[in-house]
Amino acid sequence: MDVFLLSVVAALAALAGGFVAIHGRKQLPLALGFTAGLILGLVAFDLLPEIFEISEAEGLDTIWPMVALVTGFLFFHIIEKFILLHHGTEEKYGPHRHPYVGIAGAVAFSGHSFLDGLSIGIGFQVSVEVGVAVAIAVIGHRFADGFNTTNVMLYHQNKPSRAKKMLVIAAVMPILGGLASLLFSLSEATLAVYLGFFAGFLLYIGASDILPQAHSEKSSRTTILLTVLGALFMFLVTRIAIE
């Protein structure tokens, strides 16, 4: 029951983040700047430290999560280019948009959301204390995940109605992951490799996709400041979660 309730809270946090992004879509360049900072902070202050911690505990050579990171980066790059070329929208290398690219990004976020819920369940398999600690960490960044999922959809010219549907899917995934933890669990080594892959995807979409678009028209001091604040926000969230 604890796993289910905490997974629901994580889902609500994602919904809150997504609806903030939708209602602020008129200021999308500013939102994208903040999103880029959130993604950078998530990779640097959450995913990579967790990868190294798991690898050390499991005796896993960190080269494998790093191989997965590069694979994730290149995989999403290839998928994006394939979609753009297939639909005849690739004119030059640089900021570009297509609704299918947004959907691909949102699906990846949903997959991570599923593992967030699974992580809560796995934590409770260890002990109640560990489960609660993991849940706090997950809930802390679920708001940012919902915000990022929605902004990726809107940036790639998806209609708000479609963005809302993907947001709901991303929000429901932690609940499904939490319930799935009652049936099976991932090994720590497998989780580390997956996190490497997801970190690579995030690095690509943040640095090569979202951040250039945030500054493509008028790079303002406010946009730059919001990027820095986004990274700082994730740093604070991860520090609080550790405490």
- The residue with greater pLDDT, 115 or 44, is 44
Q: Which two tokens stand for residue 88?
A: 């005849």
Asked if 214 contacts 151 with a C-beta cutoff of 8 angstroms, the reply is no
| Domain count of the fold of the chain | 1
Asked if 155 contacts 104 with a C-beta cutoff of 8 angstroms, the reply is no
pLDDT band at 70 (very low <50, low <70, confident <90, very high): very high
**Considering only 69-73, 128-132, 154-158, which range has the smallest mean pLDDT?**
128-132
Q: What is the mean pLDDT of the chain?
A: 78
pLDDT tens digit string along 145-173? 787 788 778 777 778 788 888 888 888 88
Instruction: State the pLDDT at residue 130.
Output: 55
Average pLDDT over residues 80-92: 52
- The residue with greater pLDDT, 1 or 71, is 71
pTM of the prediction?
0.66
Average pLDDT over residues 164-191: 84
Q: What is the DSSP letter of 27?
A: G
Average pLDDT over residues 35-44: 83
Residue 85 pLDDT > 60: no
Instruction: State the pLDDT at residue 65.
Output: 94
Residues spanned by the domain of 86: 2-242
Crossing angle (nearest 10°) for helices 2-23 and 128-155? 20
Average pLDDT over residues 191-220: 76
Residue 29 pLDDT > 80: no
Sequence letter at residue 91: E
Residue 135 pLDDT > 60: yes
Residue 168 C-beta-side C-alpha neighbours within 13 Å: 6
Average pLDDT over residues 177-204: 82
Q: Is 105 exposed, middle or buried (0-12, 13-18, 19+ CB in 10 A)?
A: buried
Average pLDDT over residues 178-204: 82
Q: Give the integer Cα–Cα distance in Å for 65 and 60.
A: 9
Helix and strand totals (H; E) in the chain = 10, 0
Q: Give the integer Cα–Cα distance in Å for 209 and 95.
A: 6
Residue 226 has a CB neighbour count (10 Å cut-off) of: 24
- Residues near 237 by beta carbon (within 8 Å), at least 6 away in sequence: 140, 141, 144
- Residues near 190 by beta carbon (within 8 Å), at least 6 away in sequence: none
Instruction: State the pLDDT at residue 198.
Output: 78
Sequence letter at residue 33: G
Distance of CA 161 to the CA centre of its chain: 20
pLDDT band at 243 (very low <50, low <70, confident <90, very high): low
Q: Which two tokens stand for residue 160?
A: 């708000």
Residue 132 C-beta-side C-alpha neighbours within 13 Å: 4
pLDDT tens digit string along 42-66? 789 888 988 899 899 999 999 999 9
Q: Is 109 exposed, middle or buried (0-12, 13-18, 19+ CB in 10 A)?
A: buried
3-state helix, strand, coil in the chain (%, to 5): 85, 0, 15
